[in-house]
Amino acid sequence: MLPDMIQGFLSTEETPDIWLTCERDEIAIGFCYAMPETLTDGTWNMVAIAVLPELQGSGAGATLVKAVEDKLREEGHRIIIVDTSGTEAYAKTRNFYLKIGYTQEARLRDFWAEGDDKIVFWKSLKA
């Protein structure tokens, strides 16, 4: 899944996608990937964000998200969304998005698999 995500970004073709990494002592500890939502006016989707498990809670994830949001805001975009799982295993992830100012906007039942809902979070990029 990840190789497919970054293939377009790493190709020689121009892409509006945003790929940021967070480093500590010259070692990558996290990344964030966002892309524009097709057929929308200024809506972006934060498709992936990850931080090494031992560094989760250190502020690296929030810093990555803020950097993406700031870049999108500077470019005049309106909205950023992010999808995650509704299972208990992703409760910490959902709490992270709420903590950094996202609003739970939708729940799509059994989206990922039976018993695994898709939770959509939303945030305005307007100042």
pLDDT bin (cut points 50, 70, 90) of residue 12 is low
| Higher pLDDT pick, 10 / 63 | 63
Domain ranges of the chain: 2-124
Report the amino acid identity of residue 62: A
**Half-sphere exposure in the Cβ direction for 115 (13 Å, CA):** 2
pLDDT digits (tens, 9 = 90+) for 20-60: 999 999 999 999 999 999 999 999 999 999 999 999 999 99
d(CA 122, CA 120): 7
Mean pLDDT (the chain) is: 92
Is the separation of the CB atoms in 92 and 62 below 8 Å? Answer: no
Which CATH architecture does the domain made up of 2-124 adopt?
3-Layer(aba) Sandwich (3.40)
